[in-house]
Amino acid sequence: MTANLYIKDPIDAMSNARILVVDDEPDIRQLLQEILEDEGYDVRAVENAGQARIARHEFDPDLILLDIWMPEEDGISLLNDWLHEGLACPVIMMSGHATVETAVEATRLGAYDFLEKPISMAKLLVTLAHALENATGQADRSATRKRGDVFIEPLGKSVTMERLRDQARRLALHDAYVLLLGEPGSGKATLARYLHANSARREARFVEVSIGALNPDQAAADWLGQSSGTRVQPGLLEQAEGGTLYLNEVVHLDDESQLRLLGVLESRSYSRLGESRTLPLDARLIASTRFCLEEEVRQGRFHPELYYHLNAVTLKVPPLREHGEDIPELLRFYVDHFVSREKLAYRRFPVPVQNHLRHLPWPGNIRELKNLVQRLLILGSGEDIDLEEVKSALDAVRTPESMLDRARPDFYELPLKEAREQFEKAYLEYHLEKYGGNVARLSQAIGLERTHLYRKLNALGIRFKERR
């Protein structure tokens, strides 16, 4: 991380921020106060936990620099008390003789970061700027969190993730459509929510659509909505009005839906089924995929004009193996998540275990890491998680590739749309043969209305009349 990434703009924006310095060493208090005041901050310095409690309420700081080792009451205990009281501002811990375990404990409790004495002033200013930038708009924390207090900011302090968040924040200021590319489990949905949360549309809805789960036969009503008499059923476009519509795995859109969505994007309007009234499109579109959409266009599976609309700006979400240095932070986050939200027993990942996990390939990316943490907290015992336990847990969920090869049909290697067509064709041909070509009996047996069944048989090229 380079200093100019966070000092230039954030410090200008937060130059009047209030900072509370808590340290029992007079020389350090004075030095920090002088340097921070020169940078334009409003600073109050106190020497112990008792004075810090009073200053926190009187001064209402935007950030706290807190020493760990102090007489009477240490900084860890003070931080713990403050967090139980609902402390909202970031806290940066300081110590001249802390162990790695102490630093980990501080950040696990909720400290934003840890600085070792003697403090590098360049690092201090960068860390302050970053912490204050993340805390900007603290009065409205819904901009960076889901309902239910689930953190939605892409985690990680690596250069890779810092750059991704910076790009997303800049992009959030504009209404251009965005295409997110990345492997499964890498965090595309989280980044989409982060874009929405930092945009002018953040007060409106974020509507996530899993394209593969949509029924092509009901797609028109799903997208446009429908009106029948006095009953109005809003579609996805209307549900996202004023906000953001996120299309997860957009590559799985069926052909009719591609044309329908293209028409809406070109005209910037649509009409509910059963109505002639035109409604304006007022939603930002963010699409994501793990596939190369250019190749899908070349193969004739994705409409080129729709691709050009959705691909106004592209962001690539990196796989976890490209920012393995963020794994310790991700481990802390998910341990705290499962302990606080699912009431699982707290367990600790020692440093050697963290180092081992940092060097794994993680084919399932962040989702795989999250599942590993949950599994270890549920099935394990003892506060410390050992390396052999981690290896056994990973072996249990990673099926050998040779077994997968023997078990899966050929169409498993196809895009979902083509794989679904092959499955449906084989499924319908089997049942059609079973019922001697009788479409009425087939309709009743598989639970599909006869009109839809005829349409499906014709679309799949199944010559059912010849089987009677």
Same domain, 209 and 307: yes
> 371 lies in which domain range?
321-398
- Residue 166 backbone zone (phi > 0: left; psi -120 to 50: alpha; other: beta): alpha
Domain boundary among 282, 316, 350: 316
User: Does any domain span residue 49?
Assistant: yes
Q: What is the CATH number of the domain that holds 417?
A: 1.10.10.60
The reply to whether 142 falls in a domain is: no
Starting at the earlier edge strand, list the strands of the sheet with 178-181.
206-210, 244-248, 284-289, 178-181, 313-316
pLDDT per position as a tens digit, 332-364: 999 988 888 788 888 999 999 999 999 999 999
Residue 403 lies in a domain: no
State the alpha helices, DSSP H only, in 136-218. Answer: 159-172, 188-197
Q: CA-CA distance, 389 to 395, in Å (whole number)? A: 10
Q: Are residues 64 and 207 in the same domain?
A: no
Pair 306, 335 in one domain: no
For position 408, what pLDDT does the model report?
A: 60
- CATH number, domain containing residue 297: 3.40.50.300
* 432 CB-near residues (< 8 Å, 6+ apart): 439, 442, 457, 462, 464, 467
Q: What is the CATH number of the domain that holds 47?
A: 3.40.50.2300
Q: Is residue 42 part of a domain?
A: yes
Stated pTM of the model: 0.58
- pLDDT tens profile 212-233: 778 888 889 999 999 887 788 8
Bridge partners, residue 245, by sequence: 207, 285
Residue 11 has pLDDT above 70, yes or no: no
Q: How many domains does the chain have?
A: 4
The whole-number pLDDT of residue 446 equals: 85
Q: Does residue 207 belong to any structural domain of this protein?
A: yes
> What sections of 155-285 are H helices per DSSP?
159-172, 188-197, 219-224, 236-239, 255-267
Q: Are residues 215 and 331 in the same domain?
A: no
Same-domain status, 166 and 306: yes
The pLDDT value given to residue 360: 93
CATH code of residue 359:
1.10.8.60
Instruction: Kindly state whether residues 354 and 463 are assigned to the same domain.
Output: no
Instruction: Convert the pLDDT of each residue in 159-172 to its tens digit.
Output: 999 999 999 999 99
| 357 and 297 part of one domain | no
Q: 371, 398, 425 — which closes off a domain?
A: 398
Q: Does residue 148 lie in a domain region?
A: no
Record the tokens describing residue 277, joined without a space. Answer: 């009234």
Residues 261-314 have pLDDT tens digits of: 999 999 999 999 989 899 999 999 999 999 899 999 998 989 999 999 999 999
Average pLDDT score, the chain:
83
Domain boundary among 69, 103, 136: 136
Assess whether 174 and 253 both reside in one domain.
yes
Determine contact, residues 349/393, Cβ cutoff 8 Å: no
Does 180 fall in a domain?
Answer: yes
Same domain, 188 and 94: no
Q: Which helix (H) or strand (E) holds 336?
A: helix 327-341
Angle CA 388–391–392, to nearest 5 = 85
Query: Do both 386 and 359 map to the same domain?
Result: yes
174 shares a domain with 117 = no
Q: Are residues 91 and 214 in the same domain?
A: no
Structure-token match 């049942």, residue found: 431
